[in-house]
């Protein structure tokens, strides 16, 4: 098999198989922050992407995308249930997001997690050429750095966690906490979204593994593992160019017309996930309608909520509750041809998303906890005329970088209502400098800047960076 000098390892490949309207099988970009971040970056970089194609059974063989070779790792239906839906998304995901839903612990899930991580490590070892750089992504694969180092000590191994890394008092719940920390420490560099996460990690390795640790380095045997914050970003220029296209502007105008030419459009775009604060947002909106602070003819809410992890009970319960609440609010406050909420569960292409961002006077991004939240950054990048108010949760990683947003605590219902009203009623003289400052920040700190800072820390400024186009 052909080998690469750069190997990216992520649970998901950047494409998913889906069924086209005519029934044929087609490949489409998979939704989610990780793929949104890495896909534009790697398009022009010779690399191999090791990942799962989204189904169960034997691994399909996928075509290269641009210069990126796809190396699929199969998941059986047991792996899918116990590794992906189980340990990754019913143990680690809720635990890492402040336990906003109860994490579940099952020994069978841990066995599947080990088994699947081993399979990813073996596939990666085969795909990497001598001395290659391997960049492992996210919470599904926390054991891969350690397993890979045993198989291939010649490799330079990076690990990046896209989701929050919790404080010790939460992480200590995990029955296999020591193994998970040791797995991550197989890397040469461990990247987090925020400095607080690196701090949490350092505290935990000192406490659980009794290793010497600061917020920048951990000593393991005869090695030093570096740790640090590398906030992930988006392809800012690409989103701005898309949003500036005449056909996208025309589409945005058409959307506004179809929404009834209201005075204010509020938009939310989320995966249907209990971390995103969708129910709290709907409650705030409903109370504003009930009190008359917001009127249906003047204001509409567009809620895009693409279904996610659909067989996991907590996700099914959430979807039922959200749909019941949307129905109730529309029943109570809507009129014929004028719903209070436009609720959409479809995946959209990038141009349609850009048109939605352009039409939104207020973008409400109010997760209860989020590693970063790229939707918030995409909205800012799309506001090419410096208009639009971003209502942003303090608990999204993005809040640390975008302090000019209208920041809210989504757990505080009154604060959330007030934040929404402030954003709706904001004076353009207040909105414009805030948006301009955020756009400037994202222009400098785009996805290429992220990759450059991470890979130069991992590879000592090595040759991989020559493949990355300059920022802006
Ligand atoms: P997460 O990684 O938790 O899903 P992020 O906000 O970081 O959250 O990333 C979500 C990504 O998925 C964004 O790039 C966004 O544009 C994309 N996305 C979300 N909803 C849709 C949708 N309905 N159609 C297409 N892409 C979507
Ligand atoms: O950003 C967090 C994340 O879990 C990514 O790892 C993932 O690709 C995305 O959300 C979407 O989730 P999933 O891969 O489970 O559909």
State whether 146 and 18 are in the same domain.
yes
State whether 216 and 259 are in the same domain.
no
Predicted confidence at residue 15, as pLDDT, reads 76
Residues 6+ apart with CB under 8 A from 211: 185, 205, 218, 219, 220
Q: 387 CA to middle of ligand 1, Å? A: 22
Residue 183 lies in a domain: yes
C-alpha to C-alpha distances, 467 to 11, 44, 451, nearest whole angstrom: 24, 7, 11
Predicted confidence at residue 472, as pLDDT, reads 45
Residue 354 CB less than 6 A away from ligand 1: no
Alpha-carbon torsion (375, 377, 380, 382), positive or negative: negative
State whether 328 and 193 are in the same domain.
no
Q: Is 83 a catalytic site residue?
A: no
Q: 65 CA to middle of ligand 2, Å? A: 20
State whether 359 and 228 are in the same domain.
no
Residue 378 CB less than 6 A away from ligand 1: yes
Residue 470 lies in a domain: no
Q: What integer is the mean pLDDT of 169-193? A: 98
Residue 469 lies in a domain: no
Q: Which two tokens stand for residue 397?
A: 């990683």
Domain total of the chain: 2
State whether 275 and 339 are in the same domain.
yes
Look up tokens 């249907």; give the residue.
272
> Contact at 8 Å (CB) between 159 and 136?
yes
H/E element, 250: helix 246-258
Q: State pLDDT tens for residues 326-359.
A: 999 999 999 999 999 999 999 999 999 999 999 9
Predicted confidence at residue 33, as pLDDT, reads 72
Q: State pLDDT tens for residues 418-454.
A: 999 999 999 999 999 999 999 999 999 999 899 989 9
Rounded to an integer, what distance in angstroms lies between the CA atom of residue 433 and that of residue 430?
A: 6
Which ligand 2 atom sits nearest the alpha carbon of residue 309? 15
Tell me what the pLDDT averaged over the chain comes to.
93
Phi-psi region of 277 (alpha: psi -120 to 50; beta: other; left: phi over 0): left
DSSP assignment letter at 397: G
Predicted confidence at residue 310, as pLDDT, reads 96
Half-sphere exposure of 381 (CA within 13 A, CB side): 25
Q: What integer is the mean pLDDT of 140-146? A: 98
State whether 188 and 280 are in the same domain.
no
Tell me which residue has its CA closest to atom 15 in ligand 1.
Answer: 375
Rounded to an integer, what distance in angstroms lies between the CA atom of residue 315 and that of residue 322?
A: 10
Residue 471 lies in a domain: no
Predicted confidence at residue 25, as pLDDT, reads 46
List the catalytic residue out of 39, 97, 140, 162: 162
- Pairing, β 406-408 against β 15-19: unpaired
State whether 402 and 337 are in the same domain.
yes
**Phi–psi pair at 307, nearest 5 degrees:** -60, 150
User: For position 369, which CATH number holds?
Assistant: 3.40.50.2000
Predicted confidence at residue 393, as pLDDT, reads 98
Q: 34 CA to middle of ligand 2, Å? A: 6
Tell me which residue has its CA closest to atom 10 in ligand 2.
Answer: 32
Rounded to an integer, what distance in angstroms lies between the CA atom of residue 424 and that of residue 115?
A: 50
State whether 14 and 75 are in the same domain.
yes
* Lowest mean pLDDT across 1-5, 92-96, 225-229, 289-293: 1-5
Phi-psi region of 66 (alpha: psi -120 to 50; beta: other; left: phi over 0): left
Rounded to an integer, what distance in angstroms lies between the CA atom of residue 377 and that of residue 231?
A: 12
Which ligand 2 atom sits nearest the alpha carbon of residue 137? 6
State whether 227 and 322 are in the same domain.
no
Question: Is 463 a residue whose pLDDT tops 70?
Answer: no
If one residue of 32, 39, 97, 346 were mutated to test the ligand 1 pocket, choosing by the most ligand atoms within 8 A of its CB, it would be: 32
Residue 291 binned pLDDT confidence (cut-offs 50, 70, 90):
very high
State whether 193 and 240 are in the same domain.
no
Rounded to an integer, what distance in angstroms lies between the CA atom of residue 46 and that of residue 54?
A: 23
Q: Is 82 a catalytic site residue?
A: no
If one residue of 12, 18, 33 were mutated to test the ligand 1 pocket, choosing by the most ligand atoms within 8 A of its CB, it would be: 33
Which ligand 1 atom sits nearest the alpha carbon of residue 234? 14
If one residue of 36, 138, 273, 370 were mutated to test the ligand 2 pocket, choosing by the most ligand atoms within 8 A of its CB, it would be: 138
Residue 375 lies in a domain: yes
Ligand nearest to the CA of 309: 2
Q: Which two tokens stand for residue 455?
A: 């890979």
Rounded to an integer, what distance in angstroms lies between the CA atom of residue 232 and that of residue 197?
A: 14
User: Of residues 100 and 35, which shows the higher confidence score?
Assistant: 100
Residue 472 lies in a domain: no
Range of the domain at 10: 4-232+447-462
Q: 348 CA to middle of ligand 1, Å? A: 10
State whether 192 and 247 are in the same domain.
no
Which ligand 1 atom sits nearest the alpha carbon of residue 376? 6
> Contact at 8 Å (CB) between 359 and 259?
yes
Rounded to an integer, what distance in angstroms lies between the CA atom of residue 16 and that of residue 26?
A: 8
Q: Which two tokens stand for residue 147?
A: 């397993």
Residue 468 lies in a domain: no
Ligand nearest to the CA of 363: 1
Q: State pLDDT tens for residues 2-61.
A: 788 999 999 998 876 654 555 454 556 676 777 777 877 777 778 999 999 888 998 888
Residue 193 lies in a domain: yes
Rounded to an integer, what distance in angstroms lies between the CA atom of residue 72 and that of residue 111?
A: 21
State whether 413 and 309 are in the same domain.
yes
Which ligand 2 atom sits nearest the alpha carbon of residue 308? 16
Q: What integer is the mean pLDDT of 282-291? A: 98
C-beta atoms surrounding 315 within 10 Å: 21
List the catalytic residue out of 138, 188, 370, 459: 370
Task: Calculate Rg over the CA atoms of the chain.
Answer: 22
- Give the distance, in angstroms, between the CA of residue 30 and the centroid of all CA atoms in the same chain: 12
């Amino acid at each position: 098999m052909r080998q690469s000098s750069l190997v990216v390892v992520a649970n998901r490949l950047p494409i998913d198989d889906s069924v086209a309207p005519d029934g044929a099988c087609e490949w489409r970009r998979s939704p989610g922050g990780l793929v949104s971040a890495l896909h534009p970056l790697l398009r022009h970089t010779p690399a191999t992407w090791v990942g799962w194609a989204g189904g169960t059974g034997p691994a399909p063989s996928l075509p290269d995308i641009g210069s990126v070779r796809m190396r699929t790792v199969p998941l059986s239906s047991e792996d899918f249930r116990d590794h992906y839906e189980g340990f990754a998304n019913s143990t680690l995901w809720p635990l890492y997001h402040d336990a906003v839903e109860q994490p579940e612990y099952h020994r069978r899930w841990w066995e599947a997690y080990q088994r699947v991580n081993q399979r990813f490590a073996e596939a990666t070892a085969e795909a990497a050429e001598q001395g290659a750089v391997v960049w492992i992504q996210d919470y599904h694969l926390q054991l891969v750095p350690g397993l890979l180092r045993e198989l291939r000590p010649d490799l330079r191994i990076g690990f990046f966690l896209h989701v929050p890394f919790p404080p010790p008092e939460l992480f200590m719940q995990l029955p296999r906490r020591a193994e998970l920390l040791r797995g991550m420490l197989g890397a040469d560099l461990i990247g987090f979204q925020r400095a607080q996460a690196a701090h949490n990690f350092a505290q935990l390795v000192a406490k659980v593994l009794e290793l010497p640790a600061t917020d920048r380095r951990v000593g393991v045997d005869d090695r030093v593992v570096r740790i640090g914050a590398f906030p992930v970003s988006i392809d800012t220029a690409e989103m701005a160019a898309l949003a500036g296209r005449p056909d996208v502007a025309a589409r945005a105008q058409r959307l506004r017309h179809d929404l009834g030419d209201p005075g204010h459009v509020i938009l939310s775009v989320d995966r249907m996930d209990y971390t995103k604060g969708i129910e709290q947002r709907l409650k705030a909106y409903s109370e504003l309608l009930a009190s008359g602070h917001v009127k249906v003819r003047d204001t509409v809410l567009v809620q895009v909520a693409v279904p996610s992890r659909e067989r996991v009970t907590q996700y099914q319960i959430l979807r039922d509750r959200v749909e019941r609440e949307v129905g109730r609010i529309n029943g109570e406050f809507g009129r014929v041809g004028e719903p209070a909420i436009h609720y959409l569960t479809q995946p959209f292409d990038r141009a349609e998303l850009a048109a939605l961002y352009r039409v939104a006077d207020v973008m409400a991004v109010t997760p209860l906890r989020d590693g970063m939240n790229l939707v918030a950054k995409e909205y800012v990048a799309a506001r090419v005329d410096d208009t639009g108010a971003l209502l942003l949760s303090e608990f999204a990683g993005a809040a640390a970088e975008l302090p000019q947003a209208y920041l809210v605590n989504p757990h505080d219902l009154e604060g959330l209502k007030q934040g929404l009203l402030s954003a709706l009623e904001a004076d353009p003289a207040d909105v414009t400098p805030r948006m301009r400052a955020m756009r400037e920040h994202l222009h400098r700190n785009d996805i290429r800047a992220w990759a450059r800072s991470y890979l130069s820390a991992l590879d000592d400024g090595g040759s991989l960076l020559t493949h990355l186009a300059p920022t802006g």
